[in-house]
Amino acid sequence: MKILLTIHHTLDPNAGAPGTVLKLGQTYQSLGHEVHYLSHDNFPKQVPGVFFPELVAAYLHRYNRQHRFDVIDASTGDAWVWGTLMRRFAPNHPLLVTHSHGLEHSVHFQNLEEAQRGSLHLSWKYPMYRGSVLLWEVATSMRCADLVFLLNQQDLKYTTEVLGVHSDRAHMIPNGIPDRFLNLPFLALPEAPDAALRIACIGTYISRKGIHYSVSALNRILTRYPQARVGFFGTCCPEAQVLADFEPGLHERIQVVSRFQHETLPTLLEGYAIKLFPSLSEGFSLALIEAMACGLAPITTAAGGALEVVQDGHDAIVIPLRDSAAIERSLERLIGDRPYLEQLRHNAYATAQKYSWLNAAQQRLALYTDAIKHKRQRQ
C-alpha cells in the first residue's frame, strides 16, 4: 500500500504531532508499506502556514498521478481544498483520511474559558483565523474524508454529533509509544522518609497545559515539603521564564530542560515518582503514557485522552480541570502515603505496556483496507 501522511508542521521527531506522524509512518514501513510525507519541510519557509491546505492540493494535483497513492492520511484541516474541490477530477482517486492530534474545537473552547478567567490573552488576530476559519477548515476536512480518526471519546462524540460526520466513518484509535519505552526496568524509590521525591511536568510551558493552576500548587508544596523536587521537561521556553513563576528560595529544587531528544526521556525521568499532568485539552497525551511506562504515578485532569488511558484510584489520581487545590491535595497525598504512591506507580507501569505503535498502525491499516474495498465495490 502506498500512503501519504501530511502534517502542518515541520517533521521534528522530538515534537508532539510531527513525532507521532513519523512514528506511525515508520511502523507502516516496517510492515512493508511505502510511505511518503508532506509537511512544511516541502514548501518555502516564506509561505505562511495558513496556506498549507492550498499547497497540499497543488501537490496532489501535480504528483498524485505520478505516485498513485492508495491512501492520503492528512492531519485535520490539511486536505479540505483537495477533498472538496479537486478530488473529483482525479481518476481512481485515493482513499482520503483525516486524522486528529486533538480536536481544534476542544482547544478553542478551553482557550475562550481561559480568556474569560483572565488567565490567557488572545490576540486580536485570534477570532480572524484560529477561532473561526481554522475551525471551519477542520470540520470541512472531516466531512469530506472517507475515514476520520480521533484520539478520544469526547472528540469522537463532538465530531459525529456536532460537526456532522457520519458515525460509520469516524473511529477512535489511540496512539502508541515506541518499543524502547516498553518493559523498562521498574526502579524502586528510596525508602527514607526524608529522601527526595521528584515530580515531573512534561510538555510546553503554555496555558493549555494547565501551567497557571499547577504553579500555585507547586509553590505551596515545595514550601511545605523540603524533600520535594520538580522537573520541567520540554518547556520550549527559557529556564528563567519558568523560574520567574516560583519563589526565589525554591529555585535550587527546580530543574528545567527546555528541549530534549525524545529517546532520552527515560533517562531524564530516572528518580522521578510523580507525573503532574494538569492539561486543559488533550487528544491523547504521549507524555502521560510515556511517563507511566517510566514508572511514574500520574496526577491528571479529566481532559479527553487521559480518560481513555487511566482509571482514577487504580493507576492515577484524576482531578477536575482548573483546580489548583485538587493538585495540591493530590500531591500531598502521594508525598505522605508511600504505599499508595507505589501502588499507583506499579499499576500505571502495567497500563502503559498495552500501548504500542504496532497496534495503532495495524488498527488503521485494517480500516484503510476495508474502506478501499468498499470504495471499489461502489465504483
Q: What is the mean pLDDT of residues 341-350?
A: 97
Flag whether pLDDT at 15 surpasses 70: yes
pLDDT range class, residue 236, cuts 50, 70, 90? very high
Do 241 and 307 fall within a single domain?
yes
- The DSSP call for residue 123 is P
What radius of gyration do the chain's Cα atoms show?
A: 22
Flag whether pLDDT at 86 surpasses 90: no
Flag whether pLDDT at 272 surpasses 90: yes
> Residues 194-234: pLDDT tens digits?
778 999 999 999 988 999 999 999 999 999 999 999 999 99
Alpha carbons 93 and 98: distance in angstroms, whole number: 15
- Coil, strand or helix at 275: strand
Bridge partners of residue 301, in order along the sequence:
319
Do 38 and 118 fall within a single domain?
yes
Alpha carbons 134 and 123: distance in angstroms, whole number: 15
Alpha carbons 54 and 52: distance in angstroms, whole number: 5
Do 246 and 135 fall within a single domain?
no
pLDDT of residue 190: 79
For the chain, what is the mean pLDDT?
92
Alpha-helical segments (H) within the chain: 16-30, 52-67, 80-81, 104-117, 133-143, 153-161, 211-224, 239-243, 265-268, 286-293, 306-309, 324-336, 338-352, 357-378
Q: What is the mean pLDDT of residues 54-64?
A: 88
Do 186 and 139 fall within a single domain?
no
Specify the CATH number for the domain of residue 337: 3.40.50.2000
Do 281 and 318 fall within a single domain?
yes
> Residues 281-291: pLDDT tens digits?
888 889 999 99
Do 34 and 123 fall within a single domain?
yes
343: amino acid identity, one letter:
Q
Q: How far is CA 233 from CA 105, 219, 299, in A?
A: 27, 18, 16
pLDDT of residue 284: 87
Domain total in the chain: 2
Do 118 and 58 fall within a single domain?
yes
pLDDT of residue 119: 87
Flag whether pLDDT at 173 surpasses 90: yes
Cell numbers 531528544: residue: 261
Flag whether pLDDT at 176 surpasses 90: yes
Do 243 and 343 fall within a single domain?
yes
Flag whether pLDDT at 90 surpasses 70: no
Do 343 and 360 fall within a single domain?
no
- Asked if residue 227 lies in contact with residue 197, where contact means CB atoms within 8 angstroms, the answer is yes
- Asked if residue 312 lies in contact with residue 318, where contact means CB atoms within 8 angstroms, the answer is yes
- Coil, strand or helix at 274: strand
Flag whether pLDDT at 318 surpasses 90: yes
Do 245 and 229 fall within a single domain?
yes
pLDDT of residue 92: 72
pLDDT of residue 296: 97
Reading the block at residue 355, the C-alpha cell is 500501548
Do 76 and 163 fall within a single domain?
yes
Please list, in sequence order, all residues whose beta carbon lies within 8 angstroms of the beta carbon of residue 107, skipping any fewer than 6 positions away.
208, 281
Q: Torsion angle of alpha carbons 108, 109, 110, 113, nearest 10°?
A: 120
pLDDT of residue 351: 96
Do 241 and 147 fall within a single domain?
no
Q: What is the pTM of this model?
A: 0.91
Q: What is the mean pLDDT of residues 46-65?
A: 87
Lowest mean pLDDT across 43-47, 99-103, 182-186, 195-199: 43-47
Residue 343 domain boundaries:
179-352
